[in-house]
Amino acid sequence: MKKPLVTPADESGDDALQELITFYEETLGFCPNSIKTMYHRPRIAYAFIEMNKAVMENQGRVSSALKRLIGYLCSHTAGCEYCEAHTIRAAERYGAAQEQLENIWSYQSHSAFSEAERAALDLAVAAAQIPNAVTDEVAEKARQHWTEGEIVEMMGVIALFGYLNRWNDSMGTEAEKGARESGQQWLQKTDWSGEKHRY
């Protein structure tokens, strides 16, 4: 795209929103441009932030790092380079092991990943495909390693990134400097270029 579909709105005068977006200062180190485009209709921005916080809230064994790796694989499967850079950055910031970051696309066989993590990541890749590719085999593998509540947490992440992938790839949302840096650092082995989201 030659320019984003919608220019980010100025949200700096909204004190209540500023308080909500401190969540992104922790996860990414900056407020995403996607939130600023949503802010053209403030209720969408507010609702999205609350949903994001609920989905990413830690309830137990589904760690913050694993949730971001799930988000990464969903975004890669969907082809959204904006979200790929954001999720790999957040995975790093939330303590994903360097071996996992460097070998995320070898998760099915690499020793850095447990069988439970493989089941979660298989679910992410299958659920992010269109048409949906969650089979009985994928579902049973997930059930063997995770409780129903934990699977709900994972599906929350998968569905959240379904929304974000559509939003940011269609908008051509401009990638922030920090997101580009993380993409360049961790995604060199993939087909990631970030060019669709650079102006």
Extents of the domains making up the chain: 61-197
Q: How many CB atoms lie within 10 A of CB 179?
A: 28
pLDDT digits (tens, 9 = 90+) for 99-119: 999 999 999 999 999 999 999
Q: Does position 22 have pLDDT exceeding 90, yes or no?
A: no
- What is the pLDDT confidence band of residue 12, given thresholds at 50, 70 and 90? confident
* Domain 61-197 superfamily per CATH: AhpD-like (1.20.1290.10)
**In the structure, what pLDDT confidence band is assigned to residue 21 with cuts at 50, 70 and 90?**
confident
Q: Which residues of 17-27 are buried (b: 16+ CB within 10 A; e: fewer)?
A: beebbebbeeb
* Residue recorded with tokens 């089941």: 119
The two structure tokens encoding residue 117: 């993590």
Region 158-165 average pLDDT: 98
Q: Are 40 and 6 in contact (CB under 8 A)?
A: yes
Predicted pLDDT at 19: 85
pTM: 0.95
